[in-house]
Amino acid sequence: MKAGIEAINIYSGSASLDVKDLAKARNLDNNRFENLMMKEKSVPMPFEDPVSNGINAAKPIIDSLTEEEKNSIDMVITCTESGIDFGKSISTYIHHYLGLNRNCRLFELKNACYSGTAGFQMAVNFVFSQAAPGRKVLVICTDIARMSMAEGASMDLSFFEPSNGSGAVAILVSDNPIVFEVDRGANGYYGYEVMDTCRPIPDQEAGNADLSLLSYLDCSENSFKEYQKRVEGADYQETFQYLAFHTPFGGMVKGAHRTNMRKFKKAKPDQIVMDFEKRVMPSLNYCQRVGNIMGATSQLALMSTIANGDFSTPKRIGVFSYGSGCSSEFYSGVATKESQEKIKQFKVQEHLNERYKLTMKEYEDTFLINNELRFGTKNYKVDFSKNSNVFNTIKGKNRIVFSEIKEFHRIYEWV
């Protein structure tokens, strides 16, 4: 019995910002800034939201299915901390605009950046359970952080602003895991109550960056220890040819990897650097260009590993997911040459290259509109003339955009 990823794709919006420009504008120390290991970040436009990103990520996957395969999708699970309604789930919009079969479960999951893993593991276990043989699950991990000048934000912005991204990862889970076959039962969990980072009020992050970092380190160690208890003979270095971590920014992953390599392998600094380059760097490629997309980030890192690693022979990948609050998990699976070919069909690198490169002024101009687009907005019409440079880069490419809120109901258009 197999289960895992049949197809995976990302959509990270139509605009990006070079984070070096941001560091310069915010007077961030250049040497320290390099340690973040960030290159670009996706910036949400007024005509993009967690729904449109989710649909755009899933659309190429759905279009590649036969009608019969499409109708075998039994669940659409959205995983997010950027919900647009306390009751109605984003999955209902996504299900509608993708034209999926109505005999389908629709719901949403939350636990900060762990949400995508929660959704993915629920889907995998649905397949393993054989409650509905041959049926598939569509998992949409989608998150967004709109920057604004609002008062009360209490995060350390020198880390948060250069690394917060926008985007979605769509994953089709089934018993035909061409992209990533999960190791059944190979899961170590670790969670406890901690107030590190959170969204206690709509549209704003709050919290303690130091506490979050320490909690992440505790979890990356303890979730793997639990994995080791459940998987006989598991070794931090020998068992996994690649590692994909939840990546708030690359520097944090580097720190966690360094700590774990000292702890589990008593490795020396030069060995750690070599190991990082070899086993972890492929996972950072996409993350360094998109930024932290929270619930979708560990899946983004996994996809980046499969797209950028050497899979001439099958390789085992260890995945670590952490969500503030907190819940974490270390799990694993295997990808092959065929996995890489399948992933490349969606041309992610081209998508990232095609994003419009914003100037600092254009970036900061979005803050004003973001202020109008707060949670709970009853009526709103997107003014496409304001960002026509960016909008024109996606026009005619079969993308969907968020165009209006009418009595709280969101409306989307294919362009």
Partner 1 sequence: MKNQIIQIIKENLVEIMPELEGEEISLDETFLDLGANSMDRGELIALTLEKLDLEVSRIEFVGAKTINELAEAVAKFHN
Q: Which residues bind partner 1 (CB under 8 A)?
A: 32, 35, 156, 158-159, 194, 208-211, 213-215, 217-218, 251-252, 255, 258-259, 262-263
Q: What is the dihedral of CA 163, 356, 11, 67, to 10 degrees?
A: 180
Q: Is 178 helix (H, G, I), strand (E, B) or coil?
A: coil
In sequence order, which residues have a C-beta less than 8 Å from that of residue 37 and are 6 or more positions away? 249, 250, 251, 254, 284, 288
Of 48, 81, 161, 205, which residue is the catalytic one? 81
Q: What one-letter code names the amino acid at 133? A: P
Answer whether 79's CB lies under 8 Å from 115's CB. Answer: yes
- CB of residue 114 vs partner 1: minimum separation in angstroms? 17
- CB of residue 154 vs partner 1: minimum separation in angstroms? 14
Residue (98 or 217) nearer to partner 1, CB:
217
- CB of residue 272 vs partner 1: minimum separation in angstroms? 13
Active site residue 277: no
DSSP E strand stretches across 63-211:
73-79, 105-109, 136-144, 166-174, 180-191, 197-198, 206-207
Residue (117 or 197) nearer to partner 1, CB:
197
Active site residue 79: no
CA–CA distances in Å: residue 125 to residues 4, 175, 185, 333 = 9, 11, 10, 14
Cβ count within 10 A of residue 337: 13
Residue (26 or 184) nearer to partner 1, CB:
26
∠ CA 188-57-191 to the nearest 5 degrees? Answer: 20
∠ CA 198-223-217 to the nearest 5 degrees? Answer: 55
Answer whether 165's CB lies under 8 Å from 108's CB. Answer: no
Residue (11 or 160) nearer to partner 1, CB:
160
Tokens of 41: 């970040």
Of 113, 141, 219, 287, which residue is the catalytic one? 113
Count CA atoms within 13 Å of residue 328 on its CB side.
Answer: 29
- CB of residue 5 vs partner 1: minimum separation in angstroms? 31
d(CA 135, CA 73): 6
Residue (168 or 217) nearer to partner 1, CB:
217
Write the DSSP symbol of residue 276. I
**What is the phi-psi region of residue 265: left when phi exceeds 0, alpha when psi lies from -120 to 50, beta otherwise?**
alpha
Write the DSSP symbol of residue 232. T
- CB of residue 26 vs partner 1: minimum separation in angstroms? 14
Active site residue 81: yes
In sequence order, which residues have a C-beta less than 8 Å from that of residue 327 and are 6 or more positions away? 111, 112, 114, 118, 189, 191
d(CA 364, CA 226): 44
- CB of residue 49 vs partner 1: minimum separation in angstroms? 30
- CB of residue 294 vs partner 1: minimum separation in angstroms? 18
Residue (157 or 415) nearer to partner 1, CB:
157
Q: Which helix (H) or strand (E) holds 16?
A: strand 15-18
Of 246, 287, 326, 351, which residue is the catalytic one? 246
Residue (65 or 209) nearer to partner 1, CB:
209
Which residues are marked as active site?
A: 81, 113, 246
